[in-house]
Structure 1
Amino acid sequence: MADAEQDFQTGDATYPTQCSALQIDGFVMLKSRPCKIVEMSTSQSGKHGHAQVHLVGLDIFSGEKYEDICPSTENMDVPNVQRMDYKLGIKDGYLSLQQDTGDRRQDLKSPEGDLGKEIESKFEADENIMITVLTALNEEAAIGIKYLKL
């Protein structure tokens, strides 16, 4: 019990939630990947069966689409997802991130694609932005930009 409690506190755990209690824009594990639910539908129960919930989710790190169907009364694993905002710097393809407490970290790679290009151009233009980083199941990635108003 102590190990499970410790895992939950460090953000490396999942916890069970009844399938019927899941909601769009929430998180769920689909095909062993942490996903954000983008579509959800429930079918009527049959004569001898239970209602089925059809879930469609996007992997929060890769953007891949996953689907699953489960009985509404069954439990699904939900990842413990943490979201942090950091002040930005860039050095050699890695983000130099600073928390409000002043702690720095430089171990997160700059994202590829449009988001990475946008982060780099905003940094070079010396704009005041913060980077949003999601962490779940020992993975993390920059997923967005927030503009600071001075």
Structure 2
Amino acid sequence: MTSVPKQASAFRKDGHIILKDHVCKIVKMHGHAKINFTGLDIFSNNKYEELQSATHSMQEPEVKRDDYDVIDIVDEFASLTNIEGDSLELRIPKNEIGENLKKGFEEGKIMIAIVTSAMGETRITQFKEEK
């Protein structure tokens, strides 16, 4: 299952919603009979807005976040594994997150990639250093 219908009035700020075919985190919503949603795409951080009747059904995506150890980085791809032993190979984001992830790994730090999956897409969206 990738998304479920949910009445527009049942969504809350900081929840997830599909706006204009993009999985978004709700950053603002206001209105009563009609609700104006503002959300940020969880992968690109682009802003999307949509006005919807409070009684209309909208789609709530299933969003999954997991921590993966960074095992290796070759070119623009990271080899990852999680505590259950599942492995992934994902493209490193071409942004500050990707640059800092690569830098920490090259410096010999133990890096943890935070991987977000929704609507058939899986990407590295954050990272942290293991202490």
TM range (shorter): over 0.9
Name 1:68's counterpart in structure 2.
50
* CA deviation vs aligned residue, 1:15-63 (integer Å, no higher than 9, x gap): 01111111111110100111111111124xxxxxxx1111001111121
Give the distance between the partners of 1:32 and 1:105, measured in 2 at CA: 25
- Is 1:118 the equivalent of 2:97? no
Q: TM-score, length-normalised on structure 1?
A: 0.81
Is there any run of 5+ residues in structure 1 with no aligned partner, and where? 1-7, 44-50
Query: How far off is 1:129 after superposition?
Result: 2.4
- Is 1:98 the equivalent of 2:81? yes
Is there any run of 5+ residues in structure 2 with no aligned partner, and where? none
Query: How far off is 1:81 after superposition?
Result: 1.1
- Is 1:23 the equivalent of 2:5? no
Of the three residues 58, 62, 85, the one matched with 2:40 is 58
Name 1:85's counterpart in structure 2.
67
Of the three residues 102, 112, 118, the one matched with 1:130 is 112
Q: Which amino acid aligns with 2:66?
A: M
More strand as a share of residues: 2
- Identity between Structure 1 and Structure 2 (%): 35
Name 2:29's counterpart in structure 1.
40
Runs (4+) of structure 1 moved beyond 3 Å? Answer: none
What is the number of residues matched between the two proteins?
A: 130
* CA deviation vs aligned residue, 1:55-105 (integer Å, no higher than 9, x gap): 001111121110001111111101111111100131121011011122322
Structure number, greater radius of gyration: 1
> What secondary structure sits across from 2:100 in the alignment?
helix
Q: TM-score, length-normalised on structure 2?
A: 0.92
Q: Which amino acid aligns with 1:72?
A: A
Q: Which amino acid aligns with 1:96?
A: S
Q: CA RMSD in A?
A: 1.2
Query: How far off is 1:147 after superposition?
Result: 2.8
More helix as a share of residues: 1
